[in-house]
Amino acid sequence: MDLVARNITHAYGGMRVLDDVSLTARGGEIVAVLGPSGCGKSTLLRIMGGLEKPVSGDVFTSGETAPGTLNPLTYVFQDFALVPWLSVTDNVMLPLQHHPMSDTDRRARVSSALARVNLSDFSAAYPKQLSGGMKQRASIARALAVEPAVFLMDEPLSALDAQTRDLLMEDLTRLWTETQFSAIYVTHNIAEAVRLGHSVAVLSRRPGRIREIVKIDMPLAERREGAPELIRARDAIWDLIRAEAAVADREISHAL
């Protein structure tokens, strides 16, 4: 299934946040959306998953979803959004409970999702007993269990320390290699974007506008820190960002 946003414009009380953004997540591909804090990335993601209505523009899906898909557009949140009074198992179970299926099937989905993120041993733990990386893995398991057509990931690694972030990038790469899911992966971190994105949509500062979509052809599983292809992509993106910063500086100096 593809997820298509067309000409999205959004504003909060007169402050323009997104300006005519069009973006497509194609089946089996990760689109990284890269932009500075406050440029409207989370807003765009909320709009694309139906958690917010844009001022103008439309979001569509096209194509069939797999038969096991319970929640086609599924978020992974920066702050994990785990329910503190539910165990890891019950957190993963919560979105399955209202779907008509046998308890055995539900439990099978939960245990396979937990196994995929290596959390089987912590199924009875409460969120407060987990480290940050484990919390995010639990929240990824919750998303995996509903077999999404498109993952909507809002800076899933931003609340984690650098080492944990690297480990989780490897986990995500492995998960994608197992099942080629599609995803919109929002981040402000260039290294994450070039590690996980099949393409990187570079957003301008607020109001967010798409500057360019940089394609990275290297297969995810082969990507390593410092691979020449990734360095080329990173440098290209840096040039875009620098050019924009220079323009912004000129604008400010004119305004002064």
Partner 1 sequence: MPYERAAPAPNLVPIAFRAGGFLPRRIPFMAGATFAAALGLWWTATSLGWVSDLALPPPAGVLAAFSEMITNGMLVKHMAASLQRLLIGFALGGSFGIAVGFAIGLSSIARSSALPLVSALFPIPKIALLPLFILWLGIGEVSKVATIAFGVFSPMVIATFGGVDSVDRGLIRMAQSFGVPRWTIIRRIVLPGAMPAILSGARISASIAIILLTAAEMIGAQYGIGAMVLASGNLMRTEQLVAGVLVLSALGFSVSQGIGLAEKRLLRWR
Ligand X SMILES: Nc1ncnc2c1ncn2[C@@H]1O[C@H](COP(=O)(O)OP(=O)(O)O)[C@@H](O)[C@H]1O
Which residues contribute to the site for ligand X (CB under 6 A)? 12, 17, 35, 37-43, 206
Stretch (H or E) spanning 70: none
Number of C-beta neighbours around residue 93 at 10 A? 19
In whole angstroms, the minimum distance from the beta carbon of 192 to ligand X comes to 14
Return the sign of the alpha-carbon dihedral for residues 228, 234, 237, 243: negative
What is the total count of residues that contact partner 1 (CB under 8 A)? 23
Q: How far apart are CA 195 and CA 129, in angstroms?
A: 30
In whole angstroms, the minimum distance from the beta carbon of 93 to partner 1 comes to 10
Positions in 12-51 near Mg ion (CB under 5 A): 42
Looking only at Cα atoms, what is the longest distance across the chain? 67
SS3 content of the chain, % helix, strand, coil (to 5): 40, 25, 35
Of 77 and 122, the one with the shorter C-beta distance to partner 1 is 77
Say which amino acid occupies 1.
Answer: M
**Per CB under 8 A, does 77 bind partner 1?**
yes
Q: How far apart are CA 6 and CA 24, in angstroms?
A: 8
Q: Quick one: what does residue 89 bind among Mg ion, ligand X, partner 1, none, with the CB cut-off 5 to 8 Å set by partner type?
A: none
Of the candidate spans 77-85, 196-204, 209-217, 231-239, the one that interacts with partner 1 by CB under 8 A turns out to be: 77-85
Positions in 146-165 near partner 1 (CB under 8 A): 146
**Per CB under 8 A, does 75 bind partner 1?**
yes
**Per CB under 8 A, does 85 bind partner 1?**
yes
b or e along 72-82 (b: 16 or more beta carbons within 10 Å of the residue's beta carbon)?
Answer: bbbbbbbebeb
- The residues that touch Mg ion, with contacts defined as CB under 5 A, are 42
Which residues of the chain form contacts with partner 1 (CB under 8 A)?
49-51, 70-71, 73-75, 77, 79, 81, 83-86, 94-95, 97-98, 126, 128, 142, 146
